[in-house]
Chain A
Amino acid sequence: MIKKVKTGIIGTGNIGSDLLVKILRSPVLECGIFTGINPKSKNIKRAQKMGVPTAYDSINAIINNPDSCEIVFDATSAKIHTEHAPILKKLKKFTIDLTPSKVGKLCVPSVNLKACLEEDNVNMITCGAQATIPIINALMKAQHQTGYVEIVSSISSQSAGIGTRSNIDEYTRLTSEAIMELTFVPKAKAIVILNPSDPPIHMQNTIYAKIHTSDITLIQKEIFAAVKRLKKYVPGFALLHKPIVQNGMLVIISEVTGRGDYLPAFAGNLDVMNSAAVRVAEEYAKKRLL
């Protein structure tokens, strides 16, 4: 029998529930505890039906039974994660934070995965960051002198849970900070828009950059290579068209179609975030299982 590494999920909302499906599909991960705060939660019942150990005393389930997991995914909120982080550190859990708390090292797998595996707490930033930083990084490789980049993430209202909504300020600020920190662009701005259209829109991300050249052959080459790397763990990622230039401004529009693991395919925002988190956990697990 192939050995798997046990993971725990704190937070049983949209993110946690989607994550669970992805973990159960992983060849190297399993779920040792799925823990929330609401005993009446539909998502906890759903997990029980899937044969997953569950609890509703949040992090206490892990404190009381530390052997339930080696890796912890925190899908609560930024504020709660700042309380969880020192506890999980003490318990020596490799922690993957899905809130915009900014406690751990900012992580985008296709950009800085290796360095993140040396940490005890990594932060998955935001869905907008996961979907755009790999592309901006490619742009910066081709055009070092780019001075300003902006991203606009449009997500369907149906896929934005109460956590996302009450953290929208942290979301916006952390996304722009992460773009600057990981791609070295001097100035970045992030905008997020919730779209209530019915049927729901797929998550869409637009990157704008002021560039100093009209020849974008090299930029395109780097971007296409980055898309290929990103698609390895986010198969639903796609550019909607080749990058275009309009008035000295580069425009790159992409879409993420979710796998439909928990919410339907429109929720690419959940997918890109969780696929990145699972990628980090799998690489960590592979190292552990060596």
Chain B
Amino acid sequence: MKKKVLVIDSTLRDGSHAISHQFTREHVASYAKAAEIAKTQILIVGHGNGLGASSLHLGFSLLSDTEYLKYAKKELHRTKLGAFLIPGFGTITDIEEAIQNGAEVLMVASHCTEATITRQHIEFSVKKGLRTFGVLMMSHMAKAEILLEEAKKMQDYGAFGVLLMDSAGTCLPDEVTEKISVLTQGLHIETGFHAHNNLGMAVANSIAAVKAGATIIDATSRGMGAGAGNCQLEVVVAVLEKMGIKTGLDLYQLMDNSENIISKIQNSPSINSITLTSGLAGVFSGFAPHAKRAAERFGLDPRDVLMELGKRKVVAGQEDKIIQIALELSRTKS
């Protein structure tokens, strides 16, 4: 299997969950510069939940969307700058601003069964000439056939590729193989995968996706990200190289970026009792810190909160449900 895989670097976007969206101007500038040296093709930046998502609900980012884009853009020449957007949080106005600040790539994401809400945004982005990807989040919650239907909608809107996101870090490689195979066979555009590491499967799942036909992998340096973290960029690139699959990236430089820049911003993400439970429960990885806070506030075991969230099939974005469920659990307890 000799082929090429596009590895998208989402460190300065998804990684920000790990530090409550507090990347500084210096972080952005130093990492963007280093990503350029590593021959990164696409670097996504901004609030962890994308354009327009800085809020009381999800947490405010230290800098604005505009600032993140501008500071990264300054350092980039060949590497394309990208943004991420979830309709319902971000709007077309945010896309326009992102374009003014140098964005050339946009990832538009929705819950895996709600692709219709991405139409306005994907169509607008494509019309403006951005390389536009559709992302189906929480993809463990829908069967392969449904995911294909939803991905086809994104294809019709003009997306260049569609990525499945294992937002809960709950998928096992067999499931990834099945779903990505169905997508690659049913779509005429590229397919990709974004893994979370709650069950220690992020790299294995990304490789399973590539073997099943995916040509895009979304990863972060050192695996920086919410909870147990994401697919570790330098590791997945090393594995791909070992398999003889080209990424065009400078592996040593990626290793250096991880050790010299990212390790100084945050300790490596780890699988602990909370992030592991979150993966088992099939709950969006970004919920972990919120569940921990709410559990403290109401005197509960955060694992009970997470398991309950999983039972109720709460979707990403419903961080308010955490407080409500914690409140209810504390009532039944007392």
Identify which of residues 41-62 in chain B touch chain A, using a CB-to-CB cut-off of 8 Å: 55-57
Tell me if A197 is interfacial: C-beta within 8 Å of chain B: yes
Tell me if B88 is interfacial: C-beta within 8 Å of chain A: yes
Counting chain A residues whose Cβ lies within 8 A of the other chain, the interface size class is 20 to 34
Instruction: Collect the chain A residues with CB atoms within 8 Å of residue B89's CB.
Output: 172, 191
The stretch among A22-30, A101-109, A246-254 that forms the contact with chain B is A246-254
Residue on B with the closest CB to A162? B116
Cross-chain contact A196 with B114 (CB below 8 angstroms): yes
Cross-chain contact A154 with B55 (CB below 8 angstroms): no
- CB of B87 to closest CB in A, whole Å: 5
Tell me if B120 is interfacial: C-beta within 8 Å of chain A: yes
The stretch among B23-31, B172-180, B182-190, B317-325 that forms the contact with chain A is B317-325
Tell me if B251 is interfacial: C-beta within 8 Å of chain A: no
Chain B, residues 81-94, CB within 8 Å of chain A (1/0): the string is 00000011101110
Quick one: which of A168, A173, A191 contacts B317, CB cutoff 8 A?
A191
- Answer whether A150 and B116 are a contact pair too, CB < 8 Å, given A173-B91, A193-B318, A197-B313: no
Instruction: Collect the chain A residues with CB atoms within 8 Å of residue B320's CB.
Output: 152, 154, 204, 206, 251, 253
Give CA–CA (A150, B56) in the complex, Å.
Answer: 7
- Answer whether A169 and B92 are a contact pair too, CB < 8 Å, given A196-B114, A197-B315: yes
Give CA–CA (A194, B91) in the complex, Å.
Answer: 15
Cross-chain contact A166 with B120 (CB below 8 angstroms): yes
Quick one: which of A157, A168, A251 contacts B87, CB cutoff 8 A?
A168
Cross-chain contact B88 with A172 (CB below 8 angstroms): yes
Identify which of residues 269-296 in chain B touch chain A, using a CB-to-CB cut-off of 8 Å: none
Tell me if A289 is interfacial: C-beta within 8 Å of chain B: no
Instruction: Collect the chain A residues with CB atoms within 8 Å of residue B240's CB.
Output: none
- Answer whether A173 and B93 are a contact pair too, CB < 8 Å, given A168-B117, A194-B114: yes
Instruction: Collect the chain B residues with CB atoms within 8 Å of residue A6's CB.
Output: none
Cross-chain contact A157 with B313 (CB below 8 angstroms): no
- Answer whether A169 and B318 are a contact pair too, CB < 8 Å, given A197-B312, A197-B313, A206-B57: no
Residue on B with the closest CB to A164? B117
Cross-chain contact B116 with A165 (CB below 8 angstroms): yes
- CB of A205 to closest CB in B, whole Å: 9
- CB of A57 to closest CB in B, whole Å: 27
- Answer whether A168 and B88 are a contact pair too, CB < 8 Å, given A162-B116, A196-B111: yes
Instruction: Collect the chain A residues with CB atoms within 8 Å of residue B91's CB.
Output: 169, 172-173
Give CA–CA (A191, B73) in the complex, Å.
Answer: 28
Tell me if B127 is interfacial: C-beta within 8 Å of chain A: no
Cross-chain contact A194 with B56 (CB below 8 angstroms): no
Cross-chain contact B297 with A169 (CB below 8 angstroms): no
Cross-chain contact B315 with A195 (CB below 8 angstroms): yes
- CB of B139 to closest CB in A, whole Å: 13
Q: Which chain B residues have a beta carbon within 8 Å of chain A's beta carbons?
A: 55-57, 87-89, 91-93, 110-111, 113-114, 116-117, 119-121, 141, 297, 312-315, 317-321, 323-324, 327
Known: A172-B87, A191-B55. 14 other contacts (CB 8 A): A150-B55, A154-B321, A157-B114, A165-B114, A165-B116, A166-B120, A169-B91, A172-B89, A193-B88, A194-B110, A196-B113, A196-B114, A246-B297, A253-B324
Name 9 interchain pairs, CB-CB below 8 A, sorted by A.
Answer: A150-B57, A166-B120, A191-B88, A191-B317, A192-B88, A195-B318, A196-B111, A197-B315, A253-B320
